[in-house]
Structure 1
Amino acid sequence: MSALPPAPSPLWAQLFMLDDSTGLPLQARLRLKVVQVILDGRLAPGAALPSSRDLAQALGLSRNTVTAVYQQLVDEAYLESRPRSGVFVSHGARPATIADPGRIVDPFSREGAASGMPMQWGTRVLRSLTDQPTLSKPDRWREVPYPFVYGTHDAQLFPTEDFRECCVRSLARSQLPNWTPDFETDDVPDLVEQIRTRLLPKRGVFARPEEILVTVGAQHACYLIAEALFDRHTRVGFEEPGYPHARNTFSLRTSQIIGVPVDEEGLVVESLPALDYMFVTPSHQSPTTHTLSLERRQWLLRKAALQDFVVIEDDYEAENLYAGEPTPALKSLDKTGRVIYIGSLSKSLSPALRLGYIVAPKELVSELRVLRHAMVRHPSAFLQHAYALFLSLGHHDSHARRVNQVLRQRMDAAMKALAEHIPEFECTPAQGGASLWVKTPDWLDGGALAVRAREHGVLIEPGDVFFAQPPRPCPYFRLRLSSIDVGQIEAGIRALREAVRGF
């Protein structure tokens, strides 16, 4: 491509039209556009750019803005400045690419090669989850008016300024040595210390640094545990109904997942079958939200010792408590090292941050470190360091208090709206967490209701995905309250009522 000749302002304005949707400052938007134009090949190496005066006039910017961008891109070798000639695209600005792929000769394209059988990947995949029921959301779900679904966050509650402050501080030159080295199997010490001294004591858990492993979220923790400890014959007790993501993760390694019923006091422990491991969500049982009573916690640990099994405790939504007193974590009651504790750092902030941790005996943590290293090396050290600051400055605690206040308002609004508009539905007020487990009349299937509700602008989570063996019809669904404004809840329940009337 030859260099563009001098062009009138309208042509430059069209070529460098700024994208107003990026949310970037003006200077960054201009830089983005110039770099895109160069990398896309719309200006070839050696092409002349308009003078800073001409481009500023064409785009309605100050000349200082254009000059600053030009100078930055000259420093970074995207552009080059020639005395008394102007600014040009550098010859080394674009990565080398194949000029004409059609001219490349394929050494394997001989006669008859095209007639070979296509690869059948279905016969090669040894562990698949594509057919397993799980929590999911439809495409473009954010456009649905009333999203009572999992895996979202409320943008109005996100502590933008506080979290930005911590990220900026982590990027200070003085802090770079704390997170830029390769940590191999280790974690950022500052985050481990914050977990050990600020988070775990609130749950009655006291651990040494070598007993803590940072993970890419709680689900990654489940995967590591299954990979290290399970084989096809490992007997794993699992709450029924229970957390589908953990069930599916465990099913990759064992075919012996044994359902254990839950009731108003959580897991029913009186008649546990023979087990090797028992997975439990005692703080807010997923999905029923019931809290495992202290008496049952103590009995579960006695059972674990008597029957020689290990308890995997996912302390799901433990800090989202807005009624009553917190119940001690199972790990805090464990005297024999039979509890593996899983916690989440990011769930109340944003699930997309993907930070969790495991607390377990150091012998197991040492094994999990090596296994994690083979998988992901370690979670982002930058994110670990920034979140350690977030914890140490008290932002995590203040954010949790704000979230709990808002969730309680939403919970009250949802309970009131259900009682008023759909009184035939049953649900128990939760002491915490961000969801309601709702029972419909026995004839109404939650999955069918979810399909009909979507037609009315409402997303709910059908109950059958939480069961290994769901009843048919399955008269349950979950209402998630983490991302819907309190002012929209009643309207959403009224829309759900219209969906029910369609049956």
Structure 2
Amino acid sequence: MIEIEETSLAAPLDGSKPLQRQIQERIVAAILRGAIASHEPLPATRVLARQLQVSRNTVTLVYEKMAEDGYLVSVGRRGFFIDERFLRQHEKAARTASREAGRAEAPDAGLWTGRMRLRPTLQPNIRKPDNWQSFPYPFIYGHAAADPVSISRWRDCIRQAGRAEHLGQLMNDLVDADDPLLIEQIIRRILPRRGFRAGKDEILVTIGSQNAVYLLSRLFCGPGVKVGFENPGYVDARNIFTLDGAEIVDLPVDASGARPDARLEGCGLVYVTPSHQAPTNVTMTMQRRLVLLQAAERHDFLILEDDYEHELNYVGPRQHALRGYDQNGRVLHAGSLSKPVFPGLRLGFIVAPPDVITELRALRRLMFRHPSVLDQRAMALFMSEGHYDAHIRRQQGLLARRWATMLSEIERQLPDCTVTMTTGGSALWIRLPEGIAAARFQAEAASRGAAVEVGDIHFREPGAEHNFLRLGYGPIENAQIPAGIAVLRQALDHCLAERDRCRSPAAAPGGQGGGPDAQ
């Protein structure tokens, strides 16, 4: 009989994780490292259950499942043994990998890089701390506020999507099609809230709104195409257009959104984020929207409306999407289904004329065919049962409170910073005092437990003069905001003192001291 202690099977289990999965992972690991001999049975279920302090039934289920998966084999009256076929396959794979590793030589870097047509790593990109969740004060954008109710209901919808009545949809390759139930829910629940309607042949499901931008850029952009782009603007979208060879034309942004002017002449496409401008979060005024639509007709360009966060406008009257005012079919509308709920889910959509959607389907098929059928059906169920709308209402109330607290605390504790007024969303755009570099402030805030994002990256030409921060408040609890802003105050005071020391005459070579004894 195998000694349990020698196999590391009896170490305490983590009560926050599924017990059966933990036990199976330990048994597989013990088999692979040779701690369990093939000629000896695994520990008896009652013995292992007693050691792990779990029910005997739990261990029995693990053994039976591993037998079904080909890891173990049950021998009558003797127990469970390692399946020899599994061992042979594993040993053969290990020998092959060892031989290949012995033959392989480190390739010359130029062998690969010299042949690459694209180098996306050379583009400027948003950088966030990988461990931002460990910060006491995470002012990080792009993460939804935790909602245990929605998490529980989403799990229910995932389970429903795997039931017999939906299994046929899950088992099929949709090729270039989408889940019809999800398309129906987008038409019934999402588009009316945005102020327009569309037919089934005008909608394509995507892997998030950014994937929608990528697909549309591939279809409409390339060398020689000018793209009007907000400055500051969403850097990932700018990188997408640049990667396709388009020429970027800067559109200045102010408190009313992007400013349409004479620079739009000659553009083939104009990219805007009207509901919440990325990254300033301002909402484009009605006057600007109408001027932009008129300019599209006058200068003959298309508009790509990235409406990634439409549902999170909760201050003042809600405006329709830009496409809701489009009378000439020039607006390509991209939206997100997952960003207001679970940003990691990655589901979005495009609304465009049928001919455009047909080409997008063919393009998407070449890339990844279609988004996960399971995720599409689960989202359709989540919407049809009213969970999506209920979640949005809860998020609006929660974020509205955090928005008010953020503005109040910034005004109280950071009066020397300038904050851009918004109509909601999940972040604020603030400008630091003159002479304070955003990157230096970020480092100082991080050392004190606050994670913030620098805004420089969103400008066409990043520089020290762009001393902006984007402060997200989705992940931080409302009660923690005052203390978090106090930490930012401490970081700012430190940076101001550094700035003043550098500016003082004593800091210059040959300068005179400014101490109390100076004359």
Mark yes or no: TM-score above 0.5.
yes
- 1:208 is matched with which residue: 199, 210, 224? 199
Secondary structure class of the residue paired with 2:143: coil
Question: Which among 123, 132, 137 is matched to residue 123 of structure 2?
Answer: 132
- Determine whether 1:223 maps to 2:217: no
- 1:17 pairs, out of 3, 8, 11, with 11
Shift of 1:395: 0.5
C-alpha contact (below 8 Å) 1:18/1:33 kept by paired residues: no
Q: Choose the corresponding residue for 2:398, options 406, 409, 415.
A: 406
What SS does the corresponding residue of 1:363 show, helix, strand or coil?
helix
Kept in 2, the 8 Å contact 1:322–1:404? The answer is yes
Instruction: Give the CA deviation at 1:186.
Output: 0.4
Match of 1:172 in 2: 163
List per-residue Cα deviations over 1:384-409 (Å, max 9, x = no partner): 00000001111111101111111111
CA contact (8 A) 2:129 2:451 kept: no
Which stretch shifts more, 44-53 or 450-459?
Answer: 44-53
Alpha-carbon offset, residue 339 of structure 1: 0.6
Give distance in 1, aligned partners of 2:410 and 2:109: 54
Quick one: which of 447, 452, 457 aligns to 2:449?
A: 457
Matched ranges for 1:227-376 at <5 A? 227-274=218-265, 275-376=267-368
Among residues 49, 52, 57, which one is paired with 2:45 in the alignment? Answer: 52
Do the aligned residues in 1 keep the contact of 2:255 with 2:420 (CA within 8 Å)? no
What do the CA deviations read for 1:41-89 (whole angstroms, capped 9, x no partner)?
A: 4335444112223222333333333233323333333222222322211
Q: What SS is found at the alignment partner of 1:93?
A: helix
CA contact (8 A) 2:2 2:40 kept: no
Contact 1:282 1:316 (C-alpha < 8 Å) held by counterparts:
no
* Corresponding letter in the other structure for 1:121: W
* Cα-to-partner distance string for 1:249-284 (whole Å, 9 max, x where unaligned): 111012411110111211112434321100000111
Output the amino acid matched with 2:17: G
Separation (CA, whole Å) in 2 of partners of 1:106 and 1:410: 54
SS at match of 1:15: coil
Instruction: Say whether 1:396 aligns with 2:388.
Output: yes
Deviations 1:283-324 (A, max 9, x none): 111122221111221121111011100000011311102111
Q: What SS class does the counterpart of residue 224 from structure 2 fall into?
A: coil
Give the CA deviation at 1:9: 5.1
Deviations 1:218-270 (A, max 9, x none): 11111111111111111000011111111111110124111101112111124
Q: In structure 1, which of residues 466, 475, 484 is the aligned counterpart of residue 476 of structure 2?
A: 484
Q: Per-residue deviation at 1:8?
A: 4.5
* Structure 1 or 2: more helix by fraction: 2
| 1:37 is aligned to 2:30 | yes
Q: How big is the shift at 1:158?
A: 6.5
After TM superposition, the structure 1 stretch with the greater mean CA deviation from structure 2, 176-185 or 454-463, is: 454-463
Give the Cα separation in 1 of the matches to 2:399 and 2:379: 23
Say whether residues 1:93 and 2:90 are aligned partners.
no
C-alpha displacement at 1:115, in angstroms? 11
2:153 paired residue among 162, 180, 185:
162
Partner of 1:199: 190
Q: Please list the CA deviations of residues 410-432 of structure 1 after superposition, one character each: whole Å capped at 9, or x if unmatched.
A: 11111111111110111133211
Tell me the residue number matched to 2:502: none
Task: Report the alpha carbon displacement of residue 194 of structure 1 after superposing the two structures with TM.
Answer: 0.6
2:65 aligned to which of 72, 85, 90: 72
Residues 80 and 217 of structure 1: is their aligned pair in 2 closer, same or farther, counting only changes over 3 Å? same
In structure 2, C-alpha distance between the alignment counterparts of 1:70 and 1:173, rounded to whole Å: 26
Counterpart residue type for residue 404 of structure 1: Q
Code of the aligned partner of 2:11: M
Shift of 1:498: 0.9
Alignment correspondent of 1:84: 77
Q: Alpha carbons of 1:130 and 1:21: their partners in 2 closer, same or farther (altered >3 Å)?
A: farther
Amino acid at match of 2:444: R
Say if 2:323 and 2:333, in contact at 8 Å, map to a contact too: yes
User: In structure 2, how many angstroms separate the alpha carbons of the residues matched to 1:369 and 1:36?
Assistant: 43
- Aligned mates of 2:204, 2:218 — CA distance in 1: 15
Aligned equivalent of 1:3 = none
Pairwise mapping of residues 412-491 of structure 1 onto structure 2 (< 5 A)? Answer: 412-470=404-462, 472-491=464-483
Tell me which amino acid in the other structure corresponds to 2:194.
R
Q: Counterpart amino acid of 1:497?
A: R
Per-residue Cα deviation, 1:169-207 (whole angstroms, up to 9, x for no partner): 111112101232000000111111111111001111211
Q: In 2 relative to 1, CA 153–38 (structure 1 residues): closer, same or farther, beyond 3 Å? A: farther
Amino acid at match of 1:43: I
Instruction: Give 3-state SS (helix, strand or coil) of 2:485's partner.
Output: helix
Note if contact 1:16-1:33 (Cα within 8 Å) is conserved in structure 2.
no
Counterpart CA distance in 1 for 2:284 and 2:457 is 22
CA distance in 2, matches of 1:164, 1:128: 39
CA contact (8 A) 1:461 1:478 kept: yes
Q: 1:69 to 1:323 in 2, by over 3 A?
A: same
Deviations 1:90-146 (A, max 9, x none): 12234343454598489988xxxx799554433222222323322221232221221
Structure 1 pair 446/76, CA: closer, same or farther in 2 (3 Å)? closer
Distance in structure 1 (CA, Å) of the matches to 2:293 and 2:327: 9
Could you say what secondary structure the match of 2:188 adopts?
Answer: helix
The number of residue pairs the alignment matches comes to 492
CA distance in 2, matches of 1:158, 1:339: 36
Unaligned runs of 5+ in 2: 496-519
CA contact (8 A) 1:444 1:474 kept: no
Q: Counterpart of 1:61?
A: 54
Separation in 1, partners of 2:355, 2:10: 59
Contact 1:17 1:33 in 2 (8 A): no
Aligned AA (1:210)? D
> 2: distance between equivalents of 1:102 and 1:329?
55
| Cα separation, 2, equivalents of 1:473 and 1:105 | 53
Query: Which deviates the most, 124-133 or 204-213?
Result: 124-133
Aligned 8 A contact 1:148 1:460 in 2: yes
Among 22, 27, 34, the residue aligned to 2:20: 27
Per-residue CA deviations over 1:12-36 (Å, capped at 9, x if unaligned) read: 6x33535416611x33432333334
Task: Determine if the alignment matches structure 1 residue 181 to structure 2 residue 175.
Answer: no
Report the aligned-residue RMSD: 2.3
Q: What amino acid does structure 2 have at the position aligned with 1:52?
A: T
Change (3 A) 1:145 1:99: closer
Distance 1:105 1:339 in 2: 53
Provide the C-alpha distance between the structure 2 equivalents of 1:494 and 1:435, rounded to a whole number of angstroms: 18
Determine the C-alpha separation between the residues in 1 that align with 2:351 and 2:113.
Answer: 37
Matching residue's letter, 1:307: H
